[in-house]
Amino acid sequence: MTRPKALISGASVAGPVLAYFLQHNGYDVTVVERAAAVRDSGYAVDFRGAAFDVLREMKLFDQVSEHNTRMRGTTLVDGSGAEIGQLPASAFAGELEVPKRELTRILHQATAGDVDYVFGDSITALSQHESGVAVEFEHRAAGEFDLLFGADGVYSNVRRLGFGPDDEVLRHLGMSGAAFSTPNYLGLDHRGLLRPGPDTAAYLFSCGDPDRLTVSLSFATASPELDRRGRTEQERAVRAAFAGQNWELPRLLDTMTGADDFSFGSSCQVQLSQWSRGRVALVGDAGYCAAPTSGMGTSQALIGARALAHHLATTGGDHKTAFPAYETQLRPYVADNQAKGRQAAMTLGGAA
């Protein structure tokens, strides 16, 4: 009997986890990833609740745990740098926190032997018919698949092609932010410093590499428009938001310009009335991003991918039953996480 063919767009967290379970359930899996190689993002992600069961089921818990950032907590400071409070490690680091690049690398390694990974490519068109999905790519030849999954993040390509434009499903939480790293001139050791300002938050921490300090500068914005602009404009907006603030801000703003790992993003949630259409389903941030402020995105990606594969397995691959069952199971969990994301965004100066 021929194995059913599944195509997944996105090789970060949800994509490889879904690939792992589908492959174990008898699918031929291809993962197409826009980046030229396994991604090497700088920030850390954490795990909570049932996400640990997924890591254990994949026999990856010990391997992932080896990269625990072991953050010890965060000190809140005022404009003069004086301490005004303390946050426990769990506030930002959950029950286990690891650099995202390590997680992505481990998930890729665990699946690369059995899954066909295609880097540096992207889907350009898809059309569904009774027995499959026809897909066209930027570079490789067009193909036919039984099922297609969008695991390609908050600005999902599959969602745009198969469900509709971003404007209709993205909910901006009123804040955007820049992140970059700089030498650890403050000598932070597995600790963070948080300076909440008017409509801004500056968060600095060091973990993993003791010589580097990761800097996150967030501020209130009316829309995610800046995400589509170039770095010069993004930096200008960060400077304007933090203008006149004391403490380490003038120095950090100077450092930002030379940073070679500068990144920029807005806090958005994905709110869709349906996570699947015919033979196409969304998983992780692509379908139901809860925003970085929720601290739940990675757990959702793991749990969502596992649930989606599970329902396909228990229905003998009947996507018409499996996809709605996946959605029914996960909706309450996602609603709860999205509420957390909105609440935290408001605390940090957003306008959710």
Q: CB-hemisphere CA count at 13 Å for 218?
A: 25
The contact pattern for ligand FAD, residues 157-186, with x = CB under 6 A and - = no contact, is x---------------------x-------
What residues from 84 to 103 belong to the interface with ligand FAD (CB under 6 A)? 100
Residue 332 CB-density burial (10 A; 0-12 exposed, 13-18 middle, 19+ buried): exposed
Place of tokens 């907006």: 237
Q: How many CB atoms lie within 10 A of CB 42?
A: 16
User: Which of 111, 214, 298, 338 touches ligand FAD by CB under 6 A?
Assistant: 298
User: Which of 7, 18, 29, 39 touches ligand FAD by CB under 6 A?
Assistant: 39
How many whole angstroms separate alpha carbon 21 and alpha carbon 112? 13
Of the pair 13, 256, the CB lying nearest ligand FAD is at: 13
Indicate whether 14 belongs to the interface with ligand FAD (CB under 6 A): yes
DSSP assignment letter at 57? H
- Span of 245-253, 296-304, 314-322, 338-346 interacting with ligand FAD by CB under 6 A: 296-304
Q: Give the nearest distance from C-beta 316 to ligand FAD in angstroms.
A: 26
- Span of 32-40, 55-63, 229-237, 273-281 interacting with ligand FAD by CB under 6 A: 32-40
Indicate whether 192 belongs to the interface with ligand FAD (CB under 6 A): no
How many whole angstroms separate alpha carbon 183 and alpha carbon 209? 10
Q: Are 96 and 214 in contact (CB under 8 A)?
A: no
Beta strands in 209-262 (DSSP E): 212-220
Place of tokens 């994509």: 15
Q: CB-hemisphere CA count at 13 Å for 239?
A: 12
Of the pair 162, 297, the CB lying nearest ligand FAD is at: 297
Tell me how far apart the terminal alpha carbons of the chain are, to the nearest angstrom.
51
* Six token digits for residue 45: 């992600």
What residues from 226 to 265 belong to the interface with ligand FAD (CB under 6 A)? 265
Residue nearest to ligand FAD (CB): 297
Indicate whether 52 belongs to the interface with ligand FAD (CB under 6 A): no
Place of tokens 């492959």: 23
Q: Give the nearest distance from C-beta 58 to ligand FAD in angstroms.
A: 15
How many whole angstroms separate alpha carbon 104 and alpha carbon 64? 10
Task: Identify the bridge partners of residue 99 per DSSP, sorted by sequence position.
Answer: 44
- Span of 163-171, 218-226, 288-296, 339-347 interacting with ligand FAD by CB under 6 A: 288-296
Type of residue found at 26: G
Indicate whether 30 belongs to the interface with ligand FAD (CB under 6 A): no
What residues from 113 to 142 belong to the interface with ligand FAD (CB under 6 A)? 122
Indicate whether 297 belongs to the interface with ligand FAD (CB under 6 A): yes
Type of residue found at 297: G
Query: Which residues in this chain contact ligand FAD in the complex, by CB under 6 A?
Result: 9-15, 32-35, 39, 43, 45-46, 100, 122, 151-153, 157, 179, 265, 284-286, 292, 295-299, 301
